Chains A and B, each alone.
Chain A
Amino acid sequence: MSTIPAAHDTAHGHHDEGSYLTPRGPFLSTVVAWATTIDHKKIGVMYLVAVLTMFFLGGVAAMAVRAELWTPNRYVEQVQPDGTTQSVLQGDLLGKLFKADGLGAANNIYNRVFTLHGAIMVFMVIVPGVPASLGNFFLPIMLGAKDVAFPRLNLLSWYIYVTGSIFAVLSIILGGVDTGWTFYTPYSSTHAAGHWNVVFMILGAFILGFSSILTGLNFIVTTHKLRCPGMGWFDMPLFIWAIYSTSIIAVLATPVIGITLLLLIFERLFHVGIFDPAMGGDPVLFQHFFWFYSHPVVYVMILPGMGIISELIAVHCRKPIFGYRAVAFASLGIAAVSFIVWGHHMFASMGELASAVFSFLTFLVAIPTAVKVFNWIATLYKGSIAINTPMLYAMSFLFLFSIGGLTGLPLGALATDLHLHDSYFVVAHFHYVMMGGTIIAFVGGLHHWWPKMFGRMYNEKWAMLGCALVFIGFNVTFFTQFFLGTQGMPRRYASYVDEFQFLHQVSTVGSWFLLLGFLVHLGTFIHSLVAGPKAPPNPWGGLTLEWETESPPIEHNFHHEPILKHGPYDYDTTVPPHYDPADYPLDTTTPPHDSGH
């Protein structure tokens, strides 16, 4: 017996356990069972639903931002029928929608909408997104464990996440916040928006921090303590390495944003003055506090995405990953470097010495990142590449993330940064990394693991169409913004000069394609849940442990505690379990495991 018994093996009498999705009792008690579950898979699915809901909310705000930028907000002199001229406000799409009075009020609405987009996407979507949903679902299964180390804590962190999100939504209902997601002082602590809007938004972000901390802590302990027999550190899938590194960053960096936001709340409510120059405090100190968390957290956002890509590429080109240890250590390396580069967000506000030091250190990030990218490409080389949605997303990631990474270099260099700072170049850069990196990897990973999570296959052709739309829409939306940025379009403005209008409109059209792509995906997923064919246990021929259990997994993940007998990517020596090449929807002609057997 090389691995655990086959999932459908009925030779053993006790294999009639239902999947974790099987309802136990009537509707109401099923709902209660989900709300009080300590099963990491259900919590993962609950996180997925919550994160996608917030993604929808943030997406609506993004579409609104792009729509507003179709024309600039400004007064235009118009000749009236009676011959007099009158200045008329034009282009204030959101202003008219929310009945704002005058240019200032219309711009203010725009400020609130982009803040909404930023704060939701960062704090509620990208940071918790991959680790809390896919990580929660797959980390224990990939380790061969029954659950995470602290299941009740896991449920608690979901409720904390929901509480934090409710505070943020409450702030929006009260009228929103216009500080930008960075909450820079003294604006956020004195003049910005309404008193309680700001406090609730900050409080929401503060509470969400606890959720990250508890999830990260749980994952670290799970990785240390609950690996199945036979699984050493270097037998772990690279996704686990990425989640582990992410968790280290989350645990070490998040408390600092906790105290920062707490002090900011004190500042707003009692004017303690620590971040207020009017009272001898220092606003740049706030920026240090903020970025000490928020830069590492950029890697909290991207590292799980990188972990997903490692899985996608290895599985879908059926080849041992090139340089396993290099990729694993690169994750830890990125985690380590992430703590010493935060100053590059503040080149415009820091002293010269610190700027130079941080600029130098920033370039260190490129090393482990490039190690990963080159290893992925080397893995693809001579692999039996299956062209399906996860692989298309992996390739999109390589393309988009490389652009995002390379355009980071001019921003890390002092001289060019002072020119590009706070321009659309920065906006384009971080969207290429955050969205072209994390979200693309997230969606790719969702397709990769969808059959495992819900036991249904999705329609490959429609999903590939969705992927193509997302890829094209994304590039049209954001590549134009590099040009806008280098030409001098500053970020966070509702108005601009006529020369920028063409590029802004191209970008807005791109955002519609992007929306269309996500709608196609949504349709594919709903269709899959309703009418998709039943998924086999191992549709892609993967070797990591999640493919050794049923689709969807049973309540306790495995019928027996698994014992690891092969590495996660030993495609050259191991036949993938429960794998029938006929299951593989779009297989290549090369037999996946022609050597070693």
Chain B
Amino acid sequence: MTSIPTHHDHQPSPGDASAPGWKRYVAASHFRSAADEFDACKLGFWLFLATEVLLFAGLFCAYAIFRMMYPEAFAAGSHSLDVKWGGLNTVVLLISSYTVASSIRCAQLDKRFWLHVNLIITLVCAAAFVVIKFTFEYGPKWAEGKRPGVLFDYPYWSHPQEPIWWSVYYCATGIHALHVVIGACLLAWCLYRSVRHKAYGPTHYTMLENSGLYWHLVDLIWIFLFPLLYLIH
């Protein structure tokens, strides 16, 4: 569909201050239209997601190289992870990804109540992920001495290069967990803006959309980290 751009230079009238935030939103004046701005923001955010993927590329690359160098160390390390918790975290993240996608759909359809419900479920899932990660995965392993690099203190290893496996494991999952926290903060901010200002609705939900994309990326990274760390022996 081709249409001629409409130029936005009208100012919001002071009379409609009671209208929901998304109705009062006016695109920045250097864009031709709100739709153009939305498109630009999304392009910008996809470029940002590309940088995030390449950030993790370093970790995946380190994983691949050391796995190639020390396959037994990686197999042994992988054996000492619990698929149960990893799998549960995968499910948690997948469900949260679904609820984020639904929340954007609710914004598009102007269903604010369900928008909030979906975001709250997502935040609960994010908290669950982090709690599972720390209490059932990092905690016990750290206590056993399965730690990265020079901190390694586990005498019953089966390959002398296991410290490298733990370095890769902690760096990869730790940076991923940091992204989970950042994503959850973004979504919490969206929730606050939506509750407080009714900021997102059919014509304006850029921030929510982009925070959602970020969350999906976090999910995407975990989709690869999970089999690489837990399942490949």
Contacts and interface: CB of A to CB of B under 8 A. Distances in A.
Nearest to B70: A280
Nearest to B47: A217
Given A217-B48, A225-B39, A279-B164, A266 B171 contact: yes
Given A255-B53, A289-B58, 13 more contacts: A145-B30, A220-B44, A221-B40, A225-B40, A255-B51, A255-B52, A259-B57, A259-B58, A267-B149, A270-B151, A274-B164, A279-B163, A285-B62
Nearest to B56: A259
Contacts of A216: 47
Interface of B: 28-31, 36, 39-41, 43-44, 47-48, 50-59, 61-62, 65-66, 69-70, 148-151, 160-161, 163-164, 167-168, 170-171, 175
Given A266-B171, A270-B150, A279-B149, A252 B44 contact: no
Contacts of A282: 65-66, 69
Interface in A277-299: 279-282, 285, 288-289
Nearest to A286: B62
Interface of A: 145-147, 149-151, 153, 213, 216-218, 220-221, 224-226, 251-256, 258-260, 262-263, 266-267, 270-274, 276, 279-282, 285, 288-289
5 contacts: A255-B52, A272-B149, A272-B170, A273-B164, A273-B167
A218 B167 CA distance: 35
Nearest to A257: B58
B44 A149 contact: yes
A252 B30 contact: no
B118 to A, nearest CB: 27
B51 A224 contact: no
Given A145-B30, A280-B161, A282-B69, A272 B148 contact: yes
A388 B199 CA distance: 55
Summarize A's interface: helix, strand, loop or mixed. helix
Contacts of B40: 149-150, 221, 224-226
B31 to A, nearest CB: 7
Summarize B's interface: helix, strand, loop or mixed. helix
Nearest to B29: A146
Given A273-B167, A279-B163, A225 B54 contact: no
A271 B36 contact: no
Contact of B51 (A213, A226, A260): A213
B168 A274 contact: yes
A285 B70 contact: no
A263 B175 CA distance: 10
A41 to B, nearest CB: 13
Given A251-B50, A273-B163, A281-B164, A256 B57 contact: yes
Contacts of A213: 48, 51
Nearest to B36: A225
Contacts of A225: 31, 36, 39-40, 43
B167 A272 contact: yes
Contacts of B69: 280, 282
Nearest to B148: A272
Contacts of A270: 148-151
A147 B30 contact: yes
Contacts of A251: 47, 50-51
A218 B44 contact: yes
Contacts of B150: 270-273, 279
B59 A259 contact: yes
B165 to A, nearest CB: 10
A217 B57 CA distance: 19
A285 B65 contact: yes
Given A221-B44, A271-B150, A252 B65 contact: no
B171 A252 contact: no
A352 B168 CA distance: 27
Contacts of B36: 225
A557 to B, nearest CB: 9
A34 to B, nearest CB: 20
A360 B39 CA distance: 41
Contacts of B175: 259, 262
Contacts of A146: 29-30
A264 B65 CA distance: 17
Contact of A220 (B47, B160, B167): B47
A254 B164 CA distance: 25
